[in-house]
Amino acid sequence: MSITKNNLKRLFVAIKVKPEQSTINVFKSLRKSLYAQNIRWVDPENFHITLKFLGDTYVEDIPIVSNVIANTVATKSSFDIELANTSIFGSRYKPRLIWFGCSNCQQLNVLADDLFCNLDDIGFSRDRQNFIPHLTIGRISLLRDKNVLNEQIANYKNVELQKIKIDKLYLLESILNKGGSNYEIINTYKLK
Backbone φ, ψ for residue 190 (5° rounding): -95, 135
Helices marked H in the chain: 21-33, 62-73, 106-120, 146-155
| Strands 8-16 and 48-58, sheet pairing | antiparallel
Closest CA to 102 of 29, 50, 171: 50
Q: Is 2 a catalytic residue?
A: no
Q: Is 49 a catalytic residue?
A: no
Residue 127 to residues 52, 87, 131, 153, Cα–Cα distance (Å) = 8, 21, 8, 26
40, 31, 13, 182: CA torsion to nearest 10: -50
Q: Which helix (H) or strand (E) holds 89?
A: strand 79-90
d(CA 44, CA 79): 22
Taking a C-beta distance cutoff of 8 angstroms, is the pair 95, 152 a contact?
no
Q: Which of the residues 10, 16, 31, 48 is marked catalytic?
A: 48
Q: Which of the residues 99, 112, 134, 149 is marked catalytic?
A: 134
- The catalytic residue positions are 48, 134
